[in-house]
Amino acid sequence: MNRPIFIFLSLIVLTFTVIQTHAAKVMFLYGDRSHKSGDHEFKAGSHLLAKHLNAQKKVNLTASVHNGWPENESILDDFDAIVIYADGTKVIGNGWNKMDQLVREKRIGLLFIHYAVHPDVEEGEKYYLPWIGGFFKNGISVNPFWRANIKPLKGHETGRGVGPIKAVDEFYFNIQLDPDSLNLGAATPNEKNLHHINNIWTRAAYLAKGKKQSLLWGITRPGGGRGAGFTGGHHHRNWAIDGYRQLVLNVIAWIAGENVPENGVPTYAVTEDELNEELDDYGEQTNRIKLPTKEDITFNPGPWMTPEEHAESRKKPKTKKK
């Protein structure tokens, strides 16, 4: 073979190999603690999911973890997807413009988990709807604790390999969704699976009994790139539920632009020791997290109240003056 032609073909093969072996990079940005030990364990949850992504070899993904919004936000330019797991906008609130740039110019993949899907209405409509296709909307969305039997979207790659998911969590519902959003994980709240109504309850929530709700959604943006939101993630123990964890790992691969394998992103059974890695330190009040059990999802249902009944139930009893 002519030497110049040989060199040219070799360079083509080398370039193709580099393209094929380039791993999509995922960055987890987690927020600081805010609840009791075992809940809102943003750091531990991020490390656990990142660990499982890095342990598998079937999907070309690597994951990193960072506390809060990076001081040098230019480091985010190297990533293909970002996962934010935090209270409200305490992380993203430091980087609206940069994230909008990454979405528009780089078409970066985004996943917001649990409380991170809850901005104010203006931020939700300006950023969240185009970025991730939905948000917790004040006055409509609610945050009860209930037992959800989550079903992945039939035929969609994010549902591959996902086993049964039955978990009690603070699963928000009545999410404000973009018309083009896909319902990647759904469940139906009712008076039999309601554990208790939390601090937020609306007329729309009261009327939603028996209606399928999107707990995990995703969107492919018109300009390119994908976004998603997941309302679970309050109780740290639930990351040890295989189907629950599998579905979120699949979604991370999907937003990063990687193909989800036929049996899902490879994962493995979480041990109690692993579940307790990277927990926030609450000193003597730090709880050892136990693996999920049937008892966690077995309870006497709380009442499905009207908004008026809920407001009345939250009134503090007046103490009699002596």
Task: Read off the pLDDT of residues 94-145 as tens digits, 9 standing for 90 and up.
Answer: 999 999 999 999 999 999 999 999 999 999 999 999 999 999 999 999 999 9
What's the start-to-end Cα distance of the chain, in Å? 104
Q: Which residues pair with 287 in a beta bridge?
A: none
Residue 238 has which token pair? Answer: 């639930």
Residue pLDDT, tens place only, 223-248: 999 999 999 999 999 999 999 999 99
Angstrom distance (rounded) from CA 277 to CA 65: 14
Helix and strand totals (H; E) in the chain: 9, 13
Helices 242-255 & 42-55, crossing angle to 10 degrees? 70
* Domains, the chain, with CATH or none: 23-313 (3.40.50.880)
Residue 185's alpha-carbon distances to 36, 52, 77, in angstroms, are 27, 21, 30
Confidence of residue 11 (pLDDT cuts 50, 70, 90): very low
Across 143-168, average pLDDT: 97
CA nearest 225: which of 91, 67, 101, 114? Answer: 101
Give dist(CA 260, CA 60) in Å, integer.
Answer: 10
Residue 280 backbone dihedrals phi, psi, to 5 degrees: -65, 145
